[in-house]
């Protein structure tokens, strides 16, 4: 079993608990060390409450990186689940200490630091995994396999949306809303960095098509908020396809409405995160086919990411767990000096992270130029 460290994810943090549950799900990881809070006493107390040995419940992440690198039984990877502005310095410190990184998205808050982190990953040759967890869903991987097999024909139109309503009002005292609304910690994008990056990565993961340029409009619809809470992006793909992306955290009545629709010249696909076990596949001139997770005839991409028989719902935690399962295979292969299972290489990595930050940068630039068409930096 691999030893996992964690930075962030302390008291009151939603995503830290999700990472810990997901890492445990397949029995590949055990939480061994962590620095969970910017307050040393809180960090140590929280670590021991999780069952960590007192000497491995650290007061700060810099000391944790040094100490774990020096141990014969040091951690095999660190999960970085802090606010966005800390992703780069923490990741750089652990890579420098020879420790692979599993980092929450977005990779960083600016393109310069994202590229610098990419250089460090390349220099270290260590595994680096980015937790765009929706790419771990079996039917998302089935959609990708259908696209890669040419079942849709040439790509024509992509529609993706991610709608929530949890920030439709100000939430005083809510720590998750607080840091996400602070541009110093969240970066230049609110809904843009938090959920539009997921939508953008989903498009890239499933279609494989690159966005050549985009035209964007950002809005802040709740008075007094310092970051955007609604995003509209028009996209032009290399090869001529067109796309639209909408992300909103003020869409009243929407819970976690991530939805992807892809239209090719021969067929279409539709997937919704709120019904994740189903994938709608419609060849031109034929009735729609509903493909079900766990059902017959699916690709190895989907079956390898499936844990339960059909009819037993899988979802958010299992998608996250798949990223951790892929990470375990990539890191284990690195330690053993062997080639990893190719299916594990579906896990998002440093290149996906840099492209995601480049997307954020291009959206901000386009919006600042009144929606001017803007290229995404390579």
Task: Decide the pairing of beta strands 155-163 and 242-248.
Answer: parallel
Q: What is the pLDDT of residue 112?
A: 97
Distance (Å, whole) CA 55 – CA 70: 13
pLDDT digits (tens, 9 = 90+) for 133-175: 999 999 999 999 999 999 999 999 999 999 999 999 999 989 9
One domain, residues 47 and 145: no
Distance (Å, whole) CA 378 – CA 223: 35
pLDDT digits (tens, 9 = 90+) for 312-370: 999 999 999 999 999 999 999 999 999 999 999 999 999 999 999 999 999 999 999 99
Instruction: Show the domain range for 63.
Output: 2-126
Distance (Å, whole) CA 300 – CA 322: 14
Q: What is the pLDDT of residue 336?
A: 98
The CATH number linked to 104 is 3.40.50.720
One domain, residues 142 and 122: no
User: Is residue 321 assigned to a domain?
Assistant: no
User: Is residue 162 assigned to a domain?
Assistant: yes
- 345: closest CA among 332, 321, 329? 329
Q: What is the pLDDT of residue 102?
A: 98
User: Is residue 336 assigned to a domain?
Assistant: no
Distance (Å, whole) CA 127 – CA 255: 34
Contacts within 8 Å (CB) and 24+ apart, 305-314? 305/136, 305/137, 305/138, 305/141, 306/138, 307/25, 307/26, 310/277, 313/276, 313/277, 314/137, 314/138, 314/276, 314/277
Q: What is the pLDDT of residue 229?
A: 98
pLDDT digits (tens, 9 = 90+) for 51-64: 999 999 999 999 99
One domain, residues 102 and 141: no
Residue 378, pLDDT above cutoff 80: no
The H or E element that residue 65 is part of is helix 61-70
Q: What is the mean pLDDT of residues 266-272?
A: 98
One domain, residues 75 and 171: no
pLDDT digits (tens, 9 = 90+) for 81-134: 999 999 999 999 999 999 999 999 999 999 999 999 999 999 999 999 999 999
User: Is residue 53 assigned to a domain?
Assistant: yes
Q: What is the mean pLDDT of residues 254-258?
A: 97
One domain, residues 362 and 214: yes
Percent above pLDDT 70 for the chain: 100
The CATH number linked to 241 is 3.30.360.10
Distance (Å, whole) CA 246 – CA 110: 22
pLDDT digits (tens, 9 = 90+) for 33-43: 999 999 999 99
Residue 290, pLDDT above cutoff 90: yes
The H or E element that residue 3 is part of is strand 2-8
Q: Which residue has the tokens 């939603």?
A: 14
Residue 377, pLDDT above cutoff 90: no
User: Is residue 194 assigned to a domain?
Assistant: yes
237, two tokens: 């793909």
One domain, residues 118 and 22: yes
User: Is residue 184 assigned to a domain?
Assistant: yes
DSSP secondary structure string for all residues of 106-121: SS-SSHHHHHHHHHHH
């Amino acid at each position: 079993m691999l030893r996992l460290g964690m930075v962030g994810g302390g008291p009151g943090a939603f995503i830290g608990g999700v990472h810990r549950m997901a890492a445990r799900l397949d029995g590949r990881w055990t939480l061994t060390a962590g620095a969970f809070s910017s307050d040393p006493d809180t960090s140590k107390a929280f670590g021991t409450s999780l069952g960590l040995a007192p000497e491995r419940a650290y007061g700060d992440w810099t000391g944790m990186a040094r100490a774990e690198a020096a141990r014969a039984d040091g951690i095999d990877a660190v999960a970085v689940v802090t606010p966005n502005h800390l992703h780069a310095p923490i990741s750089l410190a652990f890579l420098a200490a020879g420790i692979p990184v599993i980092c929450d998205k977005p990779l960083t808050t600016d393109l310069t630091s994202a590229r610098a982190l990419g250089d460090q990953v390349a220099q270290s040759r260590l595994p680096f995994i980015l937790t765009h967890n929706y790419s771990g869903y079996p039917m998302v991987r089935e959609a990708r396999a259908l696209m890669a097999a040419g079942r849709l024909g040439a790509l024509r139109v992509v529609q993706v949306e991610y709608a929530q309503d949890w920030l439709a009002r100000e939430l005083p005292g809510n720590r998750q809303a607080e840091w996400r609304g602070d541009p110093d910690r969240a970066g230049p994008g609110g809904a843009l960095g938090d959920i539009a990056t997921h939508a953008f990565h989903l498009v890239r993961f499933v279609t494989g098509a690159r966005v050549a340029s985009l035209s964007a409009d950002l809005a802040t619809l709740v008075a007094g908020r310092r970051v955007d809470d609604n995003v509209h992006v028009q996209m032009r793909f290399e090869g001529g396809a067109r796309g639209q992306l909408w992300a909103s955290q003020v869409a009243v009545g929407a819970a976690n409405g991530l939805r992807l629709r892809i239209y090719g010249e021969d067929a279409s696909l539709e997937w919704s995160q709120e019904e994740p076990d189903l994938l709608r596949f419609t060849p031109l001139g034929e009735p729609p086919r509903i493909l079900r997770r766990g059902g017959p005839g699916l690709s190895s991409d989907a079956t390898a990411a499936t844990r339960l028989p059909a009819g037993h719902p899988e979802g958010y935690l299992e998608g996250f767990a798949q990223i951790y399962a892929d990470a375990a295979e990539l890191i284990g292969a690195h330690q053993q000096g062997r080639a990893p299972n190719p299916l594990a290489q579906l896990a998002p990595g440093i290149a996906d992270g840099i492209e995601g930050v480049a997307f954020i940068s291009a959206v901000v630039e386009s919006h600042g130029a009144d929606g001017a068409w803007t290229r995404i930096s390579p």
